[in-house]
Amino acid sequence: MNKHDDALNQLFPLADCRDVSFVLGAPLNSGYLAGNDYHNYKKGAPDHIHQKREQYRKLAKDLDVDLHTAALQFCNAPNVVSAILPGASKPEHIRENVSSLSTHIPTEFWEAANRQGVIEENAPVPS
């Protein structure tokens, strides 16, 4: 089981039962999902993480979806998430993050991500 499976299938249901919510920091994983080379605050990522990001990138490109936008919205989708804290080292990053959270992503993107195994079958997605 990976960390996402663990949160999705164990932690989130428990939090929901106890009426607990989360504020998620680093929804772009140190900027890795936005395209830089840092993952978990270190340079580089394990091969399986890099391959999954590339699969996610290709899907986003094929369906004309911004990966940064999809990542922020995906992290914000679970009902037990009350807020996300994306990093911003420049003022334009703040504007980009706000824009990303109000941009519509077609349902087809989330369906394809599910079919391709980029996200878990039972993962909440933005509506």
Over range 23-28, report the average pLDDT.
89
- The domains found in the chain, sorted by start residue, are 3-115 (3.20.20.100)
pLDDT tens per residue, range 30-53: 888 777 788 888 888 888 888 888
DSSP of 24-78: EE-TTTTTGGGT-SEETTEEB--HHHHHHHHHHHHHHHHTT--HHHHHHHHHH-S
Rounded CA gap, 89 and 11, in Å? 31
Model pLDDT, residue 2: 65
Segment 88-100, tens digit of pLDDT = 889 998 999 999 9
User: How many Cα atoms are found within 13 Å in the side-chain-facing hemisphere of 119?
Assistant: 22
